[in-house]
Amino acid sequence: MGHVKLGLVGYPVEHSLSPRMQQAAMAHLGISGEYLLLPTKPAELPARLREVAANYAGVNVTVPYKRSVMDLLDDVSEDARKIGAVNTIVNEDGYLRGYNTDAAGFYWSLKRHNVLPGEALVLGAGGAARAVVYALVEKGWLVGVANRTLARAEELAQQLGAWLVAPAKLEKAVRRTPLLINATSVGLEDGASSPLPPGVLPEAGVVVDLVYSPLRTKLLADAAAAGLETIDGLQMLLGQGMRSFELWTGRKAPLEVMERALGKVV
C-alpha cells in the first residue's frame, strides 16, 4: 500500500476529532499517509469529489452533506441507501462508492457496553438518527422516534420501520424506555441544554448521547445523577471511525490506539 490520503468533507470541519484518531491508526500500522480536513462550501462539493476521485483513497462525509452527496457518487451501498445518508466514501480507481459506517459504529458501542436488545426511544430525525434507527430495527429492536418537527419523525418512522412518538406522549415514552438515544444536536457546545424537559428521564436503563462536545452533556450528567448507565458520543465516533478505516485500508482497525488518540483531545 502506497501513500494513503484520507480526509473529511463537510462545513465546518475544524473541530473534528477524526484526524487524531485516523492518523494514530495509520502510524501504528506503519501506513504512510495523512487524514486532512477538507472544509467544503455547498457550491464546491462536486469539484471536491472530483479531487477525491483523483487524489484520495477515501474520505468521511459530515454535516451538511451526508444526504446530498449521495447523488454525486458512482454507487451507494444498500444500507447507506436505506438509511439515506453516506458518511464514508471509498475511491476504487476513480469510482466513488458511498457507505454508512454510523449504523454499525453505533451498534458496536451498544454491544461494547452489553446493552441487550429490546425497546428504544430515539430523539431526532436527521442523518445520525436515521443511522441509529436503522441499526436498531435491523437487529430486531422495537424503536420509537420523537422529533420537534413531527413530519420528519413520521417520514423516518415509516421508512425504517419504527413507531412515531407524538409530542404529547413524549414524557411517558421517555420514562418507560430502557434505552434512550439523543441523536439531536441539542447540548452541542452548550453544557446547559438538554433535549428533555426538566426532571424527565427514563426510570431505569441506559442513556446515550451522540454529542461529544462537551463529552458530558447535561443529558448525561442528569442521567448519571439519577443512577442511569450512560454512553457518551465518543463511542459511536470511535465505532464508525474503525469501520471507515477498515474500508479504506483493508486492515483491522487498532481499537486501543484510536481510543487513546481520542482520549488525548477530550
CATH assignment of the domain containing 174: 3.40.50.720
Q: What is the mean pLDDT of residues 177-201?
A: 93
- The per-residue pLDDT for range 149-162, each reduced to its tens digit, is 999 999 999 999 99
Please pick, among 5, 66, 139, 264, the residue that the annotation labels catalytic: 66
Residues 167 and 93 in one domain: no
Please tell me the distance from the alpha carbon of residue 262 to that of residue 266, in angstroms, as a whole number: 7
Number of domains in the chain: 2
Q: Look at residue 255 and tell me whether its pLDDT is greater than 70.
A: yes
Q: Tell me the residue range of the domain where 120 lies.
A: 104-232
Q: What is the mean pLDDT of residues 143-147?
A: 98
Residues 36 and 78 in one domain: yes
Residues 78 and 121 in one domain: no
Q: Are 1 and 246 in contact (CB under 8 A)?
A: no
CATH value at residue 19: 3.40.50.10860
Give the model's pLDDT for residue 265.
57
Residues 223 and 246 in one domain: no
pTM of the entire structure? 0.94
Question: What confidence tier does 95 reach under pLDDT thresholds 50, 70, 90?
Answer: very high
Catalytic site includes residue 66: yes
- The per-residue pLDDT for range 44-71, each reduced to its tens digit, is 999 999 999 999 999 999 989 999 999 9
Give the model's pLDDT for residue 2.
87
Torsion angle defined by CA atoms of residues 51, 52, 54 and 55, in that order, rounded to the nearest 10 degrees: 100
Q: Look at residue 93 and tell me whether its pLDDT is greater than 80.
A: yes
Q: H or E segment at 37?
A: strand 33-39
